[in-house]
Structure 1
Amino acid sequence: MTKYRVKVFFMHEREEAAASAAENEATLTETEWTESYVIGVVDSKDVSRLTRDGLVIKPIEIIESRSDASSSAIAVQRTRVRGGGPAAGVPRGLARMQGPRLLASTIADKGADEKIISEDAHRPQFYIVRLNGPLTEKRRGELNDIRLIERLSSNRYTCRLTPREVRACAELSFVDSIELYSGADTLRVADAERGGEPFSREHTFRGQGTVSASPRFTLPHAVRMHRAEDLPRVERWLRKEGAKPVVTHPDALRVSLRQGSDVLIELSRLPEVAVVEELQPPRLLDRMAREILGIERSGKPQHRFEGEGQIIGVADTGIDDSHPDFKGRVIGISALGRPNDHSDPEGHGTHVAGCALGDGARSNGDVCGAAPKAKLFFQSILDANGGLGGLPHNLETLFAEAYQKGVRIHNNSWGAFAYARYSEMSLDVDRFVAAHPDMLIVIAAGNDGIAVPREQGAKVNAHSGFVDWPSVADPATAKNGLTVGASRNSRTSGGYAMLTWGEAWRENYPKRPIASQKVSGDPECIAAFSSRGPSDDLRIKPDIVAPGTDIAAAKSSQAALYKFWGAYPNNPHYAFMGGTSMAAPYVAGCAALVRECFQKEGKWKEPSAALLKATLVNGTRRITGACAVAPLPGEPNFHQGFGRIDMAASIPGSAAPGLSLAFVDTWKTPAQILKRTGQRFRYLITVGDRLPMRICLAWTDPAARGLQNNLLLLVDNVTGEKFVGNGNAAAVLNIAGMSYDRNNNIQIVRIDKPKSGGHTIVVLAENLLEPPQTFALVVTGDLKSRPSLVSELFPEI
């Protein structure tokens, strides 16, 4: 009989009583209680019994007996370091993987000495400590002065421990293992000498391939410390080695080093260093779209919002500000790449701006962006060499300039292929949004989707003739940004629309079915070039998709026609382009419409980025093409994320009669901020059955690679039927009747045929490393709530 350590969640008092009865009957043992769930051990045979009582069960780990552990080679050798830094290649406990579904295993009744896998017996060092569950308030108190620095994955944390603290930590019942943080944890580069693993070691997918070790190049590397106070020491070490560091953050620097060099390897072994990663240079990510997005139908707007009063920021090649489609709406231009020169010889920036907010002045409104009454602040990042040298080393500088100009939605149609890694630029995005929760940063997912191995002889994850994954770019792996992939346009002529993918890019798409499909024409399909997820810590990316093939938008008069996919018929002011570069600004424009809606209809003057993100994701429509639902299956999945933008289902308008929207946005509501692990907020809302009911929870997480603060969305109806956020997501852990998405800071519940009557919505703090935690919650449907309760909990539109 398999035993699991689990979390048992209860939404109502009767369910809490059922959990208590299970404890009294010894069905649930080794319990620890919080306000909204209990941690305990259960036999697999009893899981269904608990769920019948209305309890939601999520697994933490498999608990094996010592005989089982011996047969499965789970026991690990202990390593002690007596001098120098942490040893590389320390043996690790094995975890069970089914595809990318990971569940930790542990041995029952471990002794303190068994928990210490490796240690430095003589001085303080950095360690990885694994807990056997979340960081509850009780556990936080028992840790005393031991500070957990960063949550790596699941229940693994970094911390700095003295030899005495290692021993004290091992004595704690909820600590499962302690091991030195080593060079294997630090170095995140694709290097053949390390087995060609471009992902970090916690999660590796089949067939990532290898990267040739020859030739070796000198490349910029980002170096991040565990603690900001250790940065000067690492700077001194690098200077002594003849390297010149450039400081980009209080806890991070950049330095140019040769791939595979001794200096690079030794740098990764410095105890103070948390991450060393290669930096690839950023590059551009290249009225039908409006209809696909649900903004208009048959040429008629579906709602009255056009982005009025909103300022969209765009960082791109340059802007032809003389283009009539932007007349009177450019509030400022910053020439970051070429001093005093913001021209657009590439045409990319002008086209991107046109997708976001062009008003179609020179096309009688036929070629119109998503938010034609929004204003524009533009940051030109094209340098004199044709690169994106105008991007600052610290992206927070870029975003801060725009924020000061009043920008609250910022588009970035550029990125760097980095094997889906969470890198320095991703961290910059997360840091800025965490510090400025009302700034939504929209990021193109990348154009690195291909249907062939990236290296000769490498295997792929996708089936033959389908686009491989993962390939999402950097900084599109950021948690707090909104990452946008590209779906196909419905256009059947113009640009590349008549070509098949095999005709247009045969080397990337040589086999059927993708080779024989048209570049445009089927809006139910994903653009073949669109980068897929997940990120290297299994988060769903992209978040959403929007049309990105054969997009007509403003053409820079300074750009040659060959820079584009083709000329727009009979009108030199426009041209066709394609890429996630075009999909992203359409989404930025849609975000401006949502923000305007909240300000005008919701009387909410400062919507958070999480609220805008939750609203857009909540309204997405799952597209059904075989490429969009290819393995791994689930909703959301790695190809289309949560689906394609559908403004008609996102905010009330004529396209969806009777649709109501209710929301909670706690960043300005202190009474509804989660302050401790286990805390919950419970909302009651009444709905009718005329429309689907949709609920989306989103939160801005503290900046770091994995989720630092985990929240959970639970919903039930009048019959007690339960719905769990992201219960059907790709890469969700499914085992013994339990499911668990522990990776994403967006969660959805979609009920196509809701039962009329009251519904309970619970948002709870499953695990908080860095409290307090704000969140945004959006509900749409045929809402019938009593005004007194709804006005107290949900502003209603």
Structure 2
Amino acid sequence: MVSRMMVAASLLVLCQWAQAGEVLRLQAGDVRPNDVQSMDRFMAAADRQHLANTQLHIVQFKKVIRTEDQQMLKAAGVKVRHYIPDDAYIVEGSLDTIRELSQQAAVQAVVPMMPQWKKSPDLPKASVFTQRHQVVVHVHLGADEQGLAFRSALRGVPGFEILAGEGNAYYVRLGMTQIDDLAKMDEVIWIQPFQEMKLQNLELPEALAATRGDASPMSGNYKDLNGFESGTRIMGFDEAWSRGLTGKDQIVGMADTGLDSGNKSTIFRDFANVPKGYSFGLGAQDWADSMGHGTHVAGSVMGGGVASGGIVRGGAYEAQMIPQGMWSPIIDNLTVPPKLKSLFEPVFADGGRIHTNSWGGGQLPGAYDSFAAQVDTFIWENPDMLILFAAGNNGVDGNKDGRIDNNSMASPGSAKNVLTVGASENLVLNGGIQRKLGDLMGGQPWGTEPLKSDTLSNNADGMAAFSSRGPCRDGRIKPDIVAPGTNVLSNCSHVQNASPLWGNYNADYCWSGGTSMSTPLVAGAAAVLRQYLAQEWNNSAPSGALMKALLMNTADDMFPGQYGTGRGQELPDRAPNSIEGYGRVNIDRATTPRPLKYYYEMYDHKQGIGTSENFTERLTVPEGPLRVTLVYSDAPGAPNAARALVNNLDLEVTSADGTTKSLSSIDNVEQVVLGKVPAGEVTIKVVGKNVPQGRNGKQPFAVVVTR
């Protein structure tokens, strides 16, 4: 056993370059590596023998990490696992190499990776009452290639059982007291609670759905529909369709409960553009939708509306879809693989560049967890992929002040690089569920005015009460965008006993609500936008960052919300905010014909910039409003870190009457909005403030400039 004094002394040697005030910002709390007292709170419970032998360390640099620093680490033979703010990496290497690193002039501190720093604060705490309990955890390894060693190390060890996993992500069942043993493994970077992934349609009691309050009975023959029911009209799809923008030649992937019959030869005629599908459900034989949710979602993306004579159809009704069925007939629930890459990779290989997901976990609200990091990793490695996730349906007025509480964002919607979609209200006064919010779910979630007397779909400028609010735990704005998600009419699954969700309109179409419904509408908008970029801007391979920037830059701010100003004001601040994000999608505006000169310019800078570099463009604009949005798909963050942002770019806009800056150190979206600029030259500048983990040392980005 190594004595505490010896370990403390070694830490002092490794930290000899540390400077006062330098911090590692971790989920476990801020740590000052050169401060013995700061380290001592972790050392007190540490296994000294483990710390003396671990090959996993955090290396912190004196200044912003430079290319030379990265080259030095590579030459030394250490493997960089993750970036940790401020100016540090989790690295793996031999003890001799680590000691040599600590002597480098640029290095400020080297400390062992403490097992406590690998444990989510959301993990259950062991006690005399729970020490014999078994738990399931989600384990995040440093790299895919460590999976074999991890499996081998646990094979045959009493109490450990790997339930599922591949690469660097696993579900493991173990005893409460064994979590610390797991955290000591050098392969392990992060351990968090297992989250049950659930569909993001709002579940209301079946009896309530069947007796839809005072709603007028619907005929089922389409004559009583006015065009708002699908949610597309509010978003401006009619205008985009009139210009021939229907999602043609675009491929959208969907991971959900499946799609209708799950067979190309028998699938419902609204889904003629489905070339293939995949089955991920435990015990499922195909991608059939025995539940009903996935078919409704698919209909909102690209349902052709054939059965309704084109009245009820998806936003991108000429796009193709590749469904992935995750519904398990064995457990009657979703079976989401622990390695999310297995969902995205097949669709990407099939040519899909949009992937929509109306599911998530709500148990770790706002957390940048393993799932979020995985999605960010895939987008970082495949930057032309746009992945959408539902924000969740965890919005409640818990403190009874008449406003929905903050901090309920679901993962993986908490990821940086995804487009996270919240739900606004549809405009449907007949059909679906028409009861007051105060009469829903026992009156508990929304029992205070003005929420109590409101209904679900009576004001297109209102938010759905259930829609999860941000911000994320590190302060990032989420959701990114909203779209109609209440009383949305779309396709029913024709599999026997599939759920009609919020109730049938007829045998082919049914109602539903939730961020599950708003997300596919935005996926349809993305497919239409991608077609527009190919046709109008000769850009058939836009980055996901550009797609995000366009949808967010052109969105409608719904301020102040449906209740006006005063008590219970729904949107206290103008967009962007953590309620509506950057606003409600307006696909008409996003696809404005180029000759109308709504867009001054858009830049899809795929090479990017590095630390201390900048991108500068000058434009001549007329007098009037100016809106500039910067979006970049950031390198994946470490779940261990208190801040998810890795690379930090800033935006500056200079007009004849001055310079406006957007300087965010937590978000990978920045925006400058000027109510009126004088006619003349405007300078757009993107500054590489800190790029510690770039692609070839650089961070790609997209900028959109509009009036």
**Corresponding position of 1:496:** 433
CA deviation map 1:168-210 (0-9, x unaligned): 7777787666554323321115345389xxxxxxxxxxxxxxx
**Partners in 1 of 2:629 and 2:391 — Cα distance?**
25
**Partners in 2 of 1:283 and 1:599 — Cα distance?**
35
Verify the 8 A CA contact 2:115 2:184 in the aligned structure 1: yes
Report the AA paired with residue 709 of structure 1.
N
CA deviation map 1:369-406 (0-9, x unaligned): 11111112212221113534554332212222222222
**Corresponding position of 1:697:** 631
Paired residues, what number?
A: 639
**Corresponding position of 1:253:** 170
**Partners in 2 of 1:111 and 1:469 — Cα distance?**
36
**Corresponding position of 2:251:** 311
Q: How does 1:404-443 map to 2 (within 5 A)?
A: 404-419=349-364, 420-443=366-389
Q: 1:380 to 1:140 in 2, by over 3 A?
A: closer
Return the match for 2:541 from 606, 631, 637. Answer: 606
Verify the 8 A CA contact 1:123 1:163 in the aligned structure 2: yes
**Partners in 2 of 1:467 and 1:533 — Cα distance?**
11
Q: How does 1:72-221 map to 2 (within 5 A)?
A: 81=7, 122-123=52-53, 125-129=55-59, 134-137=64-67, 145=76, 149-160=81-92, 179-188=111-120, 190-191=122-123, 193=125, 218-221=134-137
**Corresponding position of 1:525:** 462
Is residue 477 of structure 1 aligned with residue 379 of structure 2?
A: no
**Corresponding position of 2:512:** 577
**Partners in 1 of 2:370 and 2:172 — Cα distance?**
13
Report the AA paired with residue 336 of structure 1.
F
**Partners in 2 of 1:362 and 1:532 — Cα distance?**
36
**Corresponding position of 1:777:** 702
TM score, norm. by length of structure 1: 0.71
Is residue 759 of structure 1 aligned with residue 682 of structure 2?
A: yes
Q: What SS is found at the alignment partner of 1:552?
A: strand
**Partners in 1 of 2:368 and 2:629 — Cα distance?**
28
**Partners in 1 of 2:6 and 2:354 — Cα distance?**
51
**Corresponding position of 1:459:** none
CA deviation map 1:743-769 (0-9, x unaligned): 222222222323221111112222222
Report the AA paired with residue 650 of structure 1.
A
**Partners in 2 of 1:111 and 1:320 — Cα distance?**
60
**Partners in 2 of 1:563 and 1:79 — Cα distance?**
66
Q: Displacement, 1:447?
A: 1.5
**Partners in 2 of 1:513 and 1:175 — Cα distance?**
57
Q: Displacement, 1:236?
A: 4.3
Q: How does 1:219-618 map to 2 (within 5 A)?
A: 219-226=135-142, 234-242=150-158, 243-245=160-162, 248-258=165-175, 261-286=176-201, 287-288=227-228, 289-296=231-238, 301=241, 303-320=243-260, 326-337=270-281, 338-385=283-330, 387-419=332-364, 420-452=366-398, 464-504=401-441, 506-558=443-495, 563-568=500-505, 571-618=506-553
Q: Displacement, 1:554?
A: 1.2
Q: 1:437 to 1:215 in 2, by over 3 A?
A: same
Is residue 637 of structure 1 aligned with residue 577 of structure 2?
A: yes
Report the AA paired with residue 533 of structure 2.
F
Q: Displacement, 1:707?
A: 2.3
**Partners in 1 of 2:5 and 2:187 — Cα distance?**
20
**Partners in 2 of 1:516 and 1:213 — Cα distance?**
45
Q: Displacement, 1:224?
A: 2.2
5+ long unaligned stretches in structure 1: 1-77, 86-92, 97-102, 196-211, 453-461, 726-739, 783-797
Is residue 710 of structure 1 aligned with residue 648 of structure 2?
A: yes
**Partners in 2 of 1:497 and 1:219 — Cα distance?**
42
Q: Displacement, 1:290?
A: 1.6
Q: What SS is found at the alignment partner of 1:582?
A: helix
Verify the 8 A CA contact 2:260 2:268 in the aligned structure 1: no
CA deviation map 1:318-366 (0-9, x unaligned): 2226565625311112233254443323221111011111232222322
**Corresponding position of 1:663:** 602
**Corresponding position of 2:213:** none
CA deviation map 1:456-489 (0-9, x unaligned): xxxxxx7733222322222222222211111111
**Partners in 1 of 2:164 and 2:494 — Cα distance?**
39
**Partners in 2 of 1:499 and 1:111 — Cα distance?**
58
**Partners in 2 of 1:174 and 1:84 — Cα distance?**
19
**Partners in 2 of 1:629 and 1:166 — Cα distance?**
55
Report the AA paired with residue 64 of structure 2.
P
Verify the 8 A CA contact 2:403 2:569 in the aligned structure 1: no
Verify the 8 A CA contact 2:489 2:509 in the aligned structure 1: yes
**Partners in 2 of 1:113 and 1:381 — Cα distance?**
49
Report the AA paired with residue 656 of structure 2.
V
**Partners in 2 of 1:441 and 1:189 — Cα distance?**
28
Q: Displacement, 1:538?
A: 2.9
Verify the 8 A CA contact 1:489 1:522 in the aligned structure 2: yes
Verify the 8 A CA contact 2:170 2:338 in the aligned structure 1: no
Q: What SS is found at the alignment partner of 2:298?
A: helix
Verify the 8 A CA contact 2:409 2:470 in the aligned structure 1: yes
Q: 1:229 to 1:371 in 2, by over 3 A?
A: closer
Report the AA paired with residue 232 of structure 2.
R
Report the AA paired with residue 190 of structure 1.
D
CA deviation map 1:59-96 (0-9, x unaligned): xxxxxxxxxxxxxxxxxxx98637999xxxxxxx9999
TM score, norm. by length of structure 2: 0.80
Q: Displacement, 1:599?
A: 0.9
Verify the 8 A CA contact 1:708 1:769 in the aligned structure 2: yes
Q: What SS is found at the alignment partner of 1:666?
A: strand
Return the match for 1:749 from 660, 672, 681. Answer: 672
Q: 1:633 to 1:267 in 2, by over 3 A?
A: farther
**Partners in 1 of 2:132 and 2:481 — Cα distance?**
37
Taking only aligned residues, the RMSD between alpha carbons, in angstroms, comes to 3.9
Verify the 8 A CA contact 1:485 1:584 in the aligned structure 2: yes
**Partners in 1 of 2:34 and 2:433 — Cα distance?**
65
Report the AA paired with residue 353 of structure 1.
A
**Partners in 1 of 2:702 and 2:591 — Cα distance?**
14
Q: What SS is found at the alignment partner of 1:566?
A: coil
Q: 1:80 to 1:249 in 2, by over 3 A?
A: farther
Is residue 682 of structure 1 aligned with residue 682 of structure 2?
A: no
Verify the 8 A CA contact 1:666 1:774 in the aligned structure 2: no
Report the AA paired with residue 584 of structure 1.
T
CA deviation map 1:420-465 (0-9, x unaligned): 323333233222222222221111111122222xxxxxxxxx7733
**Corresponding position of 2:218:** none
**Partners in 2 of 1:224 and 1:421 — Cα distance?**
15
Report the AA paired with residue 542 of structure 2.
P
**Partners in 2 of 1:621 and 1:363 — Cα distance?**
29
Report the AA paired with residue 706 of structure 2.
G
